[in-house]
Amino acid sequence: MIRLAKPHIPPEAINNLTKVIRSGNFVQGQYVEEFENGINEYLGVKHSVAVSSGTAALHLSLIASGIKKGDEVIVPAFTFPATVNVIELAGATPVLVDISLSDYCIDPGLIEEKITGKTKAIMPVHEFGLAADMGPIRDISERYKLMIIEDAACGLGATFSDSRVGTIGDIGCFSLHPRKTITTGEGGIVVTSNEKSYEKIRSLRNHGFHRMGGKFDISFPGLNYRMTELQAAIGIPQLTIIDQFISRRREQAEIYNEQLSSNDHLEVPQVFASREHVYQTYHVLLKNRNRDQVIKDLKNQEIEANFGAYAIHCLEYYRQRYGYKELDFPNAVLAYHQGLAIPLGDHLTDEDISNVIHCLKTILSK
């Protein structure tokens, strides 16, 4: 089976795991701190907080930003449910905005009409590892005095106009799930250059503990969203070679683009001069073909494929809670029903890529 994705775990990570296990120190130790320092250096930020998942990163960011009941947060209608779930859990209201099919990210031209007196933040998602169009999003946030919390779950290493995603807004959130460019099994990172946000997120990660008068105390309730030493030990060696992983993904994406761009039954990802894609997912849009059947046909050829993300308003909870109709966000619906993710990553050989291309073309020609 040619898998959709598979993490690359260097031998050094296995050695690190052995050291952690033998030490008996599984939380809040040297590896987490080393990993955070490595992230700071790679992204050029002042502060990072390693946490248990990308969802935890988003949740902590909302809490630390004071997002609460009665507030509204603008998000794309096409994303992974975690993006909107954390807004609901914070007691706020996710306000959906349709995406642009050119990048599968929030359409900046549709944001302003959704802003109300209750709007507190915009949460752009850098879908599939491509930066959202952050120029106009920043302009809107400054004009209306809104926070930007970047959901960069898929985007570690991606750039917008030479700025790393996750560093463009007030707070950036990354995922280290096994399908991401580097992984800690589960895991996430929050980054910010704001000292107050950093201190609060760091405290919230660990039950709300912080030092007061020379001892630990709690001045607000927190959560247990800590990254373990085991997770950090896996991530450190990958972080040192992340650019190699990204380079390989870009090479594979370029082959896909060259071989598939002329196919009448799909659209390949667009390339933007000002946005460097890391291709966490290679996502195509099928035309006049049943996406789910294509996934089944590829599986019969021992090739794993999947859909890309979700049209949030089509999911039962959000449809019922907010009374959405399917055509409220037509681009999100199209991407949800016709989007296809095909294998990409360091685990694939050039022969694997050629096989995927051949099988996909054959299936689509039927």
171-195 residue pLDDT tens:
999 999 999 999 999 999 999 999 9
- How far, in Å, are 168, 170, 203 from residue 196 at the CA level? 17, 11, 11
Q: Residue 62 carries which side chain, given as an amino acid letter?
A: L
Inter-residue contact 87 to 75 (CB < 8 Å): yes
Q: How far apart are CA 7 and CA 345, in angstroms?
A: 8
* 166 class by beta-carbon count within 10 Å (0-12 exposed, 13-18 middle, 19+ buried): buried
Query: Amino acid letter at 175?
Result: S
Summarize pLDDT for 139-158 with one digit per residue, the tens. 999 999 999 999 999 999 99
Assigned token pair, 276: 């460097």
Please write the tens of the pLDDT for every residue from 11-45: 999 999 999 999 999 998 999 999 999 999 999 99
* Ordered mean pLDDT values, 10 residues apiece, the chain (366 residues): 96 96 93 98 98 98 97 98 98 98 98 98 98 98 98 98 97 97 97 96 95 83 97 98 98 98 98 97 98 98 98 98 97 98 97 98 96
11-240 in CATH: which number? 3.40.640.10
74 CB contacts (<8 Å, ≥6 apart)? 95, 97, 106, 111, 114, 115, 119, 121, 122, 123, 146
What pLDDT was estimated at residue 211?
80
Please state the length of the chain.
Answer: 366
Structural domain boundaries of the chain? Answer: 11-240, 242-364
pLDDT for the residue 317: 98
Query: What pLDDT is attached to residue 210?
Result: 87
pLDDT, residue 213, reads 75
Cα gap 239→246, rounded to integer Å: 11
pLDDT at position 64: 97
Domain pair 11-240 / 242-364, same fold? no
- pTM, to two decimals: 0.97
Among the four given CATH numbers 3.40.50.150, 3.90.1150.10, 3.40.50.970, 3.40.50.300, the one describing domain 242-364: 3.90.1150.10
